[in-house]
Amino acid sequence: MKRKLSIIGMPMDLGQMRRGVDMGPSAIRYAGIYERLKPLFEQIHDMGDIPIGRPEVVIDKESNLRNLDLVAEKSTLLAEKVDEVIQSGSFPLVLGGDHSIAIGTLAGVSKHYKNLGVIWYDAHGDLNTAETSPSGNIHGMPLAASLGIGHHSLTDIAGYTPKVKPENVVIIGARALDEGEKILIKEKGIKVYTMHEIDRLGMAQVMEETITYLKERTDGVHLSLDLDGLDPNDAPGVGTPVMGGISYRESHLAMEMLEEAQIITSAEFVEVNPILDEKNKTARAAVALMGSLFGEKLL
């Protein structure tokens, strides 16, 4: 049994245009996160939600980024809360919200590690900037911002940059990359397992290689899991679904192998949108995957 878990809700939908993802933390709680994880920890503390409010959409005139100042402001609040949780000796588990919340999560986590590793479990690279983004949506930029690439309001959250080095990142499940992201991946040498590699090698080998790769060069690993990394048949309630994704069972295997390796030191589950979902199927999948990540066994 692990010691302490702190759950932080981040009901932010400012990084994109589709409403509903702000209800993600509530949907995950309704799907039974506390009951599922309670047997695996000595203590669970649900810290509630970071206050977001109902702000109007604002387009930054200079960068054309949507809700830039608000995302930066709320990301700072999340970074402070995550920092506080780690200082207390608890494992931070953040519930999204759109994937722009990772800017705040990583800003709070990274200051506690010299070489933080990141597993980006996602259909997308989230490596866009204002210059490369087709939409201006910040939920397509959090990994770039955490690498120190992009608008200073996003890269400088918590007063330091970068939060992570490109050689310490592994993207798993990619199948929808913009041209600017492909260029950046090649320039920075970011390790990526697309669906081609997952199909060809199998999830077991992908995870074995990922774990070995990160163990050699990091002193902690953050898991940023976007539910659109899964195939839409298994996780329909996401804002940007992409067909041909990772299966539910492959995802469980990935979580089980991460738990066995004992390398994950913080995590977030993002982009659950109950408005687009089928009977809370995506939130239930998220909770089940958390069970595997934290040590739930089939037998």
Contact status, residue 94 vs residue 105, Cβ threshold 8 Å: yes
Residue 46: active-site member: no
Active-site choice (49, 98, 124, 222): 124
Active-site choice (13, 22, 226, 250): 226
Active-site choice (22, 98, 99, 268): 99
Residue 228: active-site member: yes
Active-site choice (98, 122, 181, 277): 122
Residue 13: active-site member: no
Q: Measured between alpha carbons, how far is 148 from 243 in angstroms, rounded to an integer?
A: 30
- Radius of gyration of the CA atoms of the chain, in A: 17
Other CB atoms within 10 Å distance of the CB of residue 239: 24
Residue 112: active-site member: no
What is the side-by-side strand order in the sheet with 41-49? 41-49, 2-10, 91-96, 264-270, 220-226, 116-121, 169-174, 191-194
Active-site choice (98, 139, 151, 181): 139
**Token reading at 168:** 């310490």
Q: Kindly list the distances between the CA atom of residue 161 and the CA atoms of 4, 37, 98, 152, 154, in Å, as whole numbers in the listed order.
A: 29, 33, 22, 9, 10
Q: Establish how many alpha carbons lie within 13 A of residue 149's alpha carbon, considering only the half-sphere containing its beta carbon.
A: 22
Residue 152: active-site member: no
91-96 vs 116-121, strand pairing mode: unpaired
Residue 222: active-site member: no
Contact status, residue 203 vs residue 121, Cβ threshold 8 Å: no
Active-site choice (98, 228, 231, 259): 228
Residue 99: active-site member: yes
Active-site choice (49, 231, 250, 271): 271
Contact status, residue 150 vs residue 127, Cβ threshold 8 Å: no
Of the candidates 95, 44, 73, 122, the one whose C-alpha atom is nearest the C-alpha of residue 274 is 95
Residue 56: active-site member: no
Active-site choice (22, 83, 126, 231): 126
Contact status, residue 101 vs residue 145, Cβ threshold 8 Å: no
Q: Which amino acids are annotated catalytic?
A: 99, 122, 124, 126, 139, 226, 228, 271
